[in-house]
Structure 1
Amino acid sequence: MANIHKDYYLTEVDKNPNTIYCMHDLMGEQDISAHQHEKGQFLYTEGGVVHVSTEQKTYFLPARHYMWIPPGVVHSIHPSSADVTMRNLYFPVEANENPFYAQKGIYPVNDLLLQMIIFSNRWSGDIDQTEQSSYRFALALKAILPEVSLYKLPLALPYAKDKRLASVIKYMGENLSEAIVFPAMASQFGLSERSLSRLFQGDVGMSFIQYLTIQRMMLAVQLLLEDKMSVKEVASMVGYNSIPTFSTTFYKTLGVRPSEYVKMKGALGLDVMLA
């Protein structure tokens, strides 16, 4: 499987505005720099996690989830490993589209959608209306997304504009295995608790604990996927002394327990997809 070339994103996707463009490929060592498309993008990945950065936020795309990127959204793509495979379908904008397609989001992939993704592995490049069965199947995949995507994964973090808050957030991200306590953080960065609380709400629209929890869950997913650690080891690495507390927080964020998530990762049918 050949590595993706950057020019493909810039020259091929929108060359034929009325086609559905399909690309399955190995990322290798390469990040995809900031770009945009006139078509909506369905992005599914295997082999590791991917960060998708827009002008406002960084999104975290783990296994068994997909991301919908609306047309015109400037974004860059950053794989966590050279083994990440991306599966992309790019769809032309249709008249009177469901509002779902105008919103960025990361959603779980259920068994039906997974089988449709597996089926799409046989396509490459442009699919036009002369290829009736393939074109209609791809449109059906797109059409069911609003019906099967009822839960948006909250694994996205906005950028801090205030330099003081950016420093706080950077420190948090580098010390997730440690006990990070709000009063101590405020004191360490020369801020009152009230001022730091206002910075979080005013700048990133989240509380300190909400931001910290998502940071920790992002790292937890990455460790579970890539480093083959036990749930107990991962809990410790992301700052939880209590496995039940970690498991409950993970469940509230991702909708599954950490132990279930690891099992799910191993049941994706990747051998079928890569055949």
Structure 2
Amino acid sequence: MDNKQYVDKYYMTEVDSFEDSIYCHHAMMGENFIAEHKHNKDQFLYTEGGIVFLKTEEKSYFLPARHYIWIPAGTKHSIHPSSPEVVMRNLYFPRFDTDTAFYKKVNIYPVNDLLIEFIMFTNRWTGNIFPVEEPKYSIAKAFKLILPEISRTELPLALPYPKHDKLKDIVKYLEEKIDENVGFKTIAKEFDVSERTLARLFQKELNMSFIQYYTILRMLTALKLLLDEKMSVNEVAMRVGYSSLPTFSNTFNKIIGVRPSEYVKNKNLLL
């Protein structure tokens, strides 16, 4: 697939050239990194052939197979694919009078079979689609309109960035000792803070509890490890600090929406 338009940085110059158009682009990344930028249009991003990390000013998002991310207009973001061969399927939409609160926040959602079919249908479109181009424009607009109806489950595949210096050190410590199942009391003692202060720090700075943050960190790490074909589910469970495979599997299912064994079984089909 030709990646010339990525080299020309289409997303910096062409997406917002016409205020009322819907812009469509399917292409191999061709890059290891897309620098921070923003659009005047909302962005739908679905990837194939690998995984993508997307960073905003507030959070770091992990976009696995069979999921899409919605990026509202004006959101500064950078894109970090697992390889230049990742295929990005992008649709950029202008604001519509019918837009609801759904379209105003960055979120990751699973993709069902209906949306897969719709995404593949859009593969025939390239560049701007103007309102006068009917029925193409109405079909493209319908793509945006159906998203809230079929995207009922938000996946917490994101972690906020800590700004507090001590919390930065704590998060780094958790990442480095991900295989040790570090407890809350251990962290408080290691960093010489009271448990009450530590709990308040996580809630105030990251808007989530220690256990919520640590669980998501472990599951995101597990997702990365499961994409390495050399590692079994049991090995991954141990690498993220779970001595019980059923507990790991149940937690993974609760956060990601499928069991790790299913994810491994399906990943070659999904990527």
TM-score by length of 2: 0.94
Q: Relative to structure 1, is the Cα distance of residues 69 and 190 closer, same or farther in structure 2, using a 3 angstrom cutoff?
A: same
Separation (CA, whole Å) in 2 of partners of 1:12 and 1:244: 49
Q: Which range is displaced more, 84-93 or 20-29?
A: 20-29
Q: Relative to structure 1, is the Cα distance of residues 181 and 74 closer, same or farther in structure 2, using a 3 angstrom cutoff?
A: same
CA RMSD of aligned residues (A): 1.6
Q: Relative to structure 1, is the Cα distance of residues 207 and 144 closer, same or farther in structure 2, using a 3 angstrom cutoff?
A: same
Gaps of 5+ in 1: 271-275
Partner of 2:175: 173
Separation (CA, whole Å) in 1 of partners of 2:30 and 2:240: 27
The residue correspondences of 1:1-275 to structure 2 (distance < 5 A) are 1-3=1-3, 4-5=6-7, 7-268=9-270
Cα pair 2:41 2:72 within 8 Å, conserved: yes
Stretches of 4+ aligned residues off by more than 6 angstroms: none
Cα pair 1:66 1:109 within 8 Å, conserved: yes
Cα pair 1:48 1:226 within 8 Å, conserved: no
Separation (CA, whole Å) in 1 of partners of 2:252 and 2:19: 41
Separation (CA, whole Å) in 2 of partners of 1:79 and 1:228: 20
TM-score by length of 1: 0.92
Alpha-carbon displacement from aligned partner over 1:47-79 (angstroms, at most 9, x marks no partner): 222111111111111110001111111111111
Separation (CA, whole Å) in 1 of partners of 2:192 and 2:259: 38
Please report how far the alpha carbon of residue 6 of structure 1 lies from its aligned counterpart in structure 2 after TM superposition: 6.2
Alpha-carbon displacement from aligned partner over 1:110-142 (angstroms, at most 9, x marks no partner): 000011111112222112234323322221211
Q: Relative to structure 1, is the Cα distance of residues 6 and 240 closer, same or farther in structure 2, using a 3 angstrom cutoff?
A: farther
Q: Which range is displaced more, 255-264 or 34-43?
A: 255-264
Cα pair 2:181 2:240 within 8 Å, conserved: no
Q: One-letter code of the match for 2:252?
A: F
Please report how far the alpha carbon of residue 194 of structure 1 lies from its aligned counterpart in structure 2 after TM superposition: 1.9
Please report how far the alpha carbon of residue 228 of structure 1 lies from its aligned counterpart in structure 2 after TM superposition: 4.8
